[in-house]
Amino acid sequence: MPLEGSARIVRELTSRGYNAEREAVTLIAAADDPGRTLDRVVDAAPEDGLVVTTDHVRSVLDGADAGAAAAAASPAERSPSDAPADPPVSTGTDATPSPENGNESPVETRGSSTAGAAAAAAAGGPESFERSGDPSRRSLEIANDMTGESTGTGEYEDFVSVFRDRLERLGSKLRGRVNHRPATSIESMPGGSEVAMVGLVNDVRSTASGHWLIELEDATGTFPWLVMKDREYVDLVDELLCDEALAMEGTLSDDSGIAFVDSMYFPDVPRTHEPSTADRHVQAALISDVHVGSEEFMHDAWNRFADWLHTEQAQHVEYLLIAGDMVEGVGVYPNQDEELDIVDIYDQYRAFNEYLKQVPGDLEIVMIPGNHDAVRLAEPQPGFDEELREIMSAHDARIVSNPSTVTVEGVSVLMYHGVSLDEVIAELPAEKASYDEPHEAMYHLLKKRHVAPQFGGHTRLAPEEKDYLVIDEVPDVFHTGHVHKLGFGKYHNVLAINSGCWQAQTDFQRSVNIDPDAGYAPIVDLDTLDVTVQKFS
Ligand code: D5M
Ligand code: FE
Ligand code: ZN
C-alpha cells in the first residue's frame, strides 16, 4: 500500500478508529515502509487506546530493523526514526563543514521534533495536541500543471505557436473593449479614421522629439502607434515590456502610416474581482528559496520554523506552499561553487528532504521548481523528475510545474517562482517596481495577465504549443519568490505575496546591495486572506 502521505496515514488511522499525535504521523510517514509501519503500530496499540502516540510509533520502530537501517544510512539519508533518541543540538553544518562531501553534512533530524514538542510546551500548549482541523475537510486541486505535457522542440514553429496562443488568449480579454482591426487592414483605412488594434508589443522607442513609438504586432503584421509626450497615457509607456498584450485606440495619421494613441488597455484584473475564501479557519504557510546546500542556508531559522509548525500556535496551518529554489543547485551562477556547502546536487535534495521531514507530517505540501532547481531553466519548468521525486518523498508533497495554480479549499493560488521579477524591476522606473516592494512588481504581472511577458532577457522561455505563462483565470492569491525579499499587498483584491528566503546574504548579493529577507514565513488565513508574518531569524 503506498502510504507515505501523511494525510493518507491520518485517514487510514481514522478509518481504523484511531486518532494520532501529529509527531506520530510524522514518524510513520518518514519510516522506510510507512504502510507496514502503520500496520505494526496499530497492532501494537493498546486495545483501549484511542490515540496513537509518538511513543507507540517509536517503540515499534525501535524494534525490528531500525538498527540495521541506521548503520547503513549516511547521516543525510537517515530518517528521523533511525536517529538517536537524544536531540542533536547542532545541525552539523556548523560542526562539520565539509564542502568535499555533501553526505558529511548531517542535518538535524528528530532533534527538532523533540525541540518542537518543547516549544509547544513553552508556548503554553500541551506537549502534543491534535490539529483542530478535520483532514476530511481539506481540498487541494492543481490546474495548469504542464509536467509531462511538454511538446516544444525549440523549433521556430514552436515560437510562432506560443505567441499565437498568447495573443489569442490575452487578446480575448481585450477584444470586447475596443472595436479592433487587424494590422494590415488599418493601413488601408482612410487617414483620420478612428482605429483600434489588439496585439503584442513588438518594440517601444522614443522619437527625436520625445514622443513614444510603440509597435504592436498581431497575426497579420505590425502597426506603429504614437503616444504623444503630453498625453496622459505617456505615464504608462514606462511600464511596457516587450511581448505583452495590449489594446490601443486612436486616430490614423493623414497618410494612414501611423496612429495617435487616445487610449491604451491592459488585459488586467477586473476591479470587481471577488476572491474566494475557505469556509473554515485554516491557514497556509507560503515560503520559497530554501537554498539547501548553500553555505548561507539558514538551518537554525528553518529548524525554528519547523519547530513552530509543531506548536499550538500553528495548529491551523494545514498547507505549506513552496515556490521554488528548494536547493542551491550547482553551476547556477558564476563562482557559485565557492559558497556551496553540499556540492552534489542529489545530496542537496537528500538534505532538503531531511529538512522537510522536520515539518509536521500532516501538512499538505505543494512545491514548484525555481531557477536553482535541477529541472530545465526555461519556463514553464516541469515539476521534478522521478528520481528527484523519489528523493523528496518524505511528505508525499504535490510536485508541479512552475507556474501552476493550486486551489486550496476554494482559494486559488497561482504559484510562480518569479525570475521575471528581476526583469520587471530592471525595466520599470523604481517608483513602480523595486526589490524593496516586490509585491508591487507582481502587480504589473497581474495587470499584464502574464507571469513572464518579456522573452529574451533574464527570463528564458521554452516554446510550447500553448502559453502556460498566461494568467488565464484571476487567482485569489499570487505567490512568488526568487528576489529573496518579503512583501505582500492587494491588487484589485488579489493578494500578492513574495515570500522571502532561507538563505543569508551571498557574496554576489552583497556586491550589488541586495539585502535579503531571510527566515520569514508569511501565513495566509484562507478564510479571510489576511496575512501574518512569522519571523524565525
Ligand atoms: O536569486 C536571488 C536574487 O538575487 C534574484 O533577484 C537574482 C539575484 N541574483 C543572485 N545571484 C545572482 C547572480 N550571480 N547574478 C545575477 N543575479 C543574481 P536566486 O536565483 O533566487 O538566487
Ligand atoms: Fe532563490
Ligand atoms: Zn530564484
pLDDT (tens digit, 9 = 90+) per residue, 335-394? 898 999 999 999 999 999 999 999 999 999 999 999 999 999 999 999 999 999 999 998
> DSSP label at 108?
-
Residue 279 has pLDDT above 50, yes or no: yes
Ligand 1 atom with the shortest distance to the CA of 336: 14
Based on DSSP, count helices (H) and strands (E) in the chain, helices before strands.
15, 19
- Helix ranges (H only) for 345-418 are 345-357, 386-391
Answer whether 388's CB lies under 8 Å from 328's CB.
Answer: no
- Residue 340 is predicted with a pLDDT of 96
Tell me how far the alpha carbon of residue 355 lies from the centroid of ligand 2, in angstroms: 17
Residue 479 bridge partners (DSSP) = 415, 497
CB of 422 within 6 A of ligand 1: the answer is: yes
Hey, what amino acid is at 391?
I
Which atom of ligand 1 lies at the shortest distance from residue 422's CA? Answer: 6
The crossing angle, in degrees rounded to 10, of helices 34-44 and 22-30 is 130
Question: How many residues are given for the chain?
Answer: 537
Cα-based angle 131, 137, 138 (whole degrees, multiple of 5):
80
Q: What is the pLDDT of residue 413?
A: 98
Mutate which of 484, 502, 510 for ligand 1? The one with the most ligand atoms within 8 Å of its CB, which is: 484
CB within 8 Å of 232: residues ≥ 6 apart: none
| Other Cβ atoms within 10 Å of 151 Cβ, number | 11
Does pLDDT of 84 surpass 50?
A: no
For ligand 3, the distance from its centroid to the CA atom of residue 498, given in whole angstroms, is 12
* Probe target for ligand 1 pocket from 333, 402, 421, with the most ligand atoms within 8 Å of CB: 333
Residue 36 vs residue 323, higher pLDDT: 323
* pTM: predicted TM-score of the whole model, two decimal places: 0.78
Going by pLDDT thresholds of 50, 70 and 90, the confidence category of residue 130 is low
Domains delineated in the chain: 6-77 (no CATH), 174-265 (2.40.50.140), 274-535 (3.60.21.50)
Ligand 3 centroid distance, CA of 287 (Å): 12
pLDDT digits 0-9 by tens, 204-238: 999 999 999 999 999 999 999 999 999 888 999 99
> What is the rounded distance in angstroms from the CA atom of residue 421 to the CA atom of residue 434?
9
Is 514's C-beta closer than 6 angstroms to any atom of ligand 1? yes
Look at residue 77 and tell me whether its pLDDT is greater than 50.
no
**How does pLDDT run across 446-482, given as a tens digit for each residue?**
999 999 999 877 788 888 889 999 999 999 999 999 9
Distance 382 CA to ligand 3 centre (A): 15
Query: With bands split at pLDDT 50, 70 and 90, how would you rate the model's confidence at 159?
Result: confident
pLDDT confidence of residue 39: 74
Give the integer Cα–Cα distance in Å for 278 and 138: 10
Distance CA 337, CA 484 (A): 20
b vs e for 422-457, b when ≥16 Cβ sit within 10 Å of the residue's Cβ?
bbbbebbeeebbbbebbbbbbbbbbbbbbbbbbbee
CB 401, CB 146: distance < 8 Å: yes
Instruction: Give per-residue pLDDT as tens, 363-377.
Output: 999 999 999 999 999
pLDDT of residue 94: 30
Report pLDDT for 158: 80
Protein residue with least CA distance to atom 6, ligand 1? 483
Q: Which atom of ligand 1 is nearest to the CA of 371?
A: 20
- Res 404 pLDDT > 80: yes
Of 44 and 7, more confident:
44
3 vs 306, which has greater pLDDT? 306
pLDDT band at 176 (very low <50, low <70, confident <90, very high): very high
Question: How many alpha carbons lie under 13 Å from residue 353 in its C-beta half-sphere?
Answer: 25
DSSP per-residue string spanning 220-258: TEEEEEEE-TTSTTHHHHTT--TT-EEEEEEEE-TTSS-
> Is the distance from the beta carbon of residue 338 to the nearest atom of ligand 1 less than 6 Å?
no
User: Does residue 140 surpass a pLDDT of 70?
Assistant: yes
Q: Are 293 and 474 in contact (CB under 8 A)?
A: no
Most confident of 35-44, 67-76, 143-152: 143-152
DSSP state of 209: T
Q: Please, are residues 124 and 312 in contact by the beta-carbon 8 Å criterion?
A: yes
Tell me which of 339, 372, 509, 511 to substitute to probe ligand 1's pocket, judged by most ligand atoms within 8 Å of the beta carbon: 509
Tell me: pLDDT of 410 over 80. Answer: yes
Please name the residue whose Cα sits nearest to atom 16 of ligand 1.
Answer: 333
The average pLDDT across 246-269 equals 97
Give residue 112 CA to ligand 3 midpoint distance, Å: 27
Q: Do residues 337 and 331 make contact, with C-beta atoms less than 8 angstroms apart?
A: yes
Residue type present at position 334: P
| Inter-CA distances, 269 with 265, 272, 445, 467, 529, Å | 11, 8, 10, 18, 17
| Per-chain mean pLDDT for the chain | 84
Find out whether the beta carbon of 333 lies less than 6 Å from any atom of ligand 1: yes
- Distance from residue 109's CA to the centre of ligand 3 (Å): 26
Ligand 1 within 6 A of CB of 371? yes
Q: How many whole angstroms separate alpha carbon 428 and alpha carbon 434?
A: 8
Q: Lay out the sheet containing 520-525: strands in order across.
A: 398-399, 364-368, 317-323, 283-287, 520-525, 531-535
Is 325 near ligand 1, meaning CB less than 6 Å away? Answer: yes
**Ligand 1 touching residue 508 (CB < 6 A):** yes
Nearest alpha-carbon partner for 414 in 379, 449, 386: 449
Q: Using the 8-state DSSP alphabet, how is residue 305 labeled?
A: H
pLDDT at residue 42 in the model: 66
CA atoms within a 13 Å half-sphere pointing along the CA-CB vector of 178 = 25
Task: Tell me the CA–centroid distance for residue 384 and ligand 2, in Å.
Answer: 17
pLDDT in tens, 6-37: 555 555 654 555 555 556 656 676 777 777 77
For residues 265-279, give the mean pLDDT. 97
Burial of 69 (0-12, 13-18, 19+ CB in 10 A): middle
CB of 413 closer than 8 Å to CB of 323: no
Nearest CA to ligand 1 atom 9: 509
Q: How many percent of the chain have pLDDT more than 70?
A: 78
Question: Alpha helix locations (H) across 248-337?
Answer: 299-309
pLDDT at 489 over 70: yes
SS3 of 336, please?
helix
Q: In this structure, what DSSP letter does residue 384 have?
A: P
